Amino acid sequence: MNVKTMLTNSEKHHRRRFIKSTLATSGALAAGTCLSASTAKKNHSMTLGFSTYGSRGITTEAVIALLAKTGYDAVEITCTKGFDAAPENVTLLRRQNIRKVLSDTGLQLTSIMEHTPPHSSKDINDANLVRIQKAAEFVADITDAQHVVIQTVLGGGNWDDKKNLFVEQVGRWVEETSGSPTTICIKPHRGGGMDNPEKALWIFRQLNNPKRLRMVYDYSHYIYTGLELIPTIQQAASKTAHIAVKDTVKQSDGKFRFELPGAAGTINFASLLKQFYTLGYRGDISCEVSGMVWGKPGYDPRTAIQVCYENISKAFALAKVPRPGTVQ
């Protein structure tokens, strides 16, 4: 399938600058990349992270320091429009500061959260592509890490009506960021047009399984839909590059409510960790706080950071899955 699209002169200039910048970065960091990959292979660990989607009201620089102090290994930075780290909000000086605090704390940047659902409008799709490119540039500016994922949901609508649009635009993102060390990661979402792993796998097949295209696994979007934990892990594991965790509660009216991971006890996170580890996953387990939680009056992100850490670090211990710096 040909996913190339025509860009404006401005976008073409942006693209050329992006490729030149990221390829130069990749070449300069080749030795470091080999060392990092070797270290990761040697320790066989998975990281425990937190998404800044749940830390509104705290600057990105401050929350990175707080996460490291709490004991986290990694961070997902939310770059969605309106958030603190949206690329348009982060000056060169701030990018330098974020890079420094990541280096000083040793916290790993594993993921960027964006929100770029494919649309019937060409203008919106072009703007989405620019956001994906800017997220990749942001990654290169703040870390030397390789294989940071840029994750997004694909939006609502009927699967049969939207699936070809999804293929076209996702393929475009992968192709137009080909000079970047980032990985495009799509997230099946409860109520979305792409709402389960099989649909994500179908998109991969239509695009001939690009190496830089993977999925986010988040069982909170599958529970109570007839999809079981272990079978969905077995189905998704080989194409999973990021795992998000939070709880889902089924209400008396049949609707669903998200909670902090481990707070409701509806998902066996120790089993999830153990199964993914057994199947070879060595990426991040990222605590995600839903907007249903952080949007409530009185929400305290600092308390959420602590509760998430306590709950999911216990799941790591129960599953006997090592984290960086631990001994098997």
Sign of the torsion angle spanned by Cα atoms 32, 102, 67, 57: negative
**pLDDT given for residue 43 in this prediction:** 58
Residue 286, helix vs strand vs coil: strand
Are residues 304 and 54 in contact, defined by beta-carbon separation less than 8 angstroms?
A: yes
Q: Please state, as a whole number, how many other Cβ atoms lie within 10 Å of the Cβ of residue 119.
A: 16
Where are the chain's structural domains?
10-18+45-319
- Looking at CATH, the fold of the domain delimited by 10-18+45-319 is given as TIM Barrel (3.20.20)
What length is written for the chain? 328
Are residues 284 and 49 in contact, defined by beta-carbon separation less than 8 angstroms?
A: yes
**pLDDT given for residue 22 in this prediction:** 43
Q: What does the H/E/C string look like for 43-83?
A: HCCCEEEEEHHHCCCCCHHHHHHHHHHHCCCEEEEECCCCC
**pLDDT given for residue 122 in this prediction:** 97
**pLDDT given for residue 44 in this prediction:** 87
Burial of residue 40 (number of CB atoms within 10 Å: 0-12, 13-18, 19+): middle
Q: Which two tokens stand for residue 199?
A: 């649909």
Residuewise pLDDT in 10s, the chain (328 residues): 444 433 344 444 444 344 434 433 333 332 232 223 223 344 589 999 999 999 999 999 999 999 999 999 999 999 999 999 999 999 999 999 999 999 999 999 999 999 999 999 999 999 999 999 999 999 999 999 988 999 999 999 999 999 999 999 999 999 999 989 899 999 999 999 999 999 999 999 999 999 999 999 999 999 999 999 999 999 999 999 999 999 999 998 989 999 999 999 999 999 999 999 999 999 999 999 999 999 999 999 999 999 999 999 999 999 999 999 875 4
Are residues 249 and 264 in contact, defined by beta-carbon separation less than 8 angstroms?
A: yes
How many CA atoms lie within 13 Å of 102's alpha carbon, on the beta-carbon side? 21
Are residues 6 and 211 in contact, defined by beta-carbon separation less than 8 angstroms?
A: no
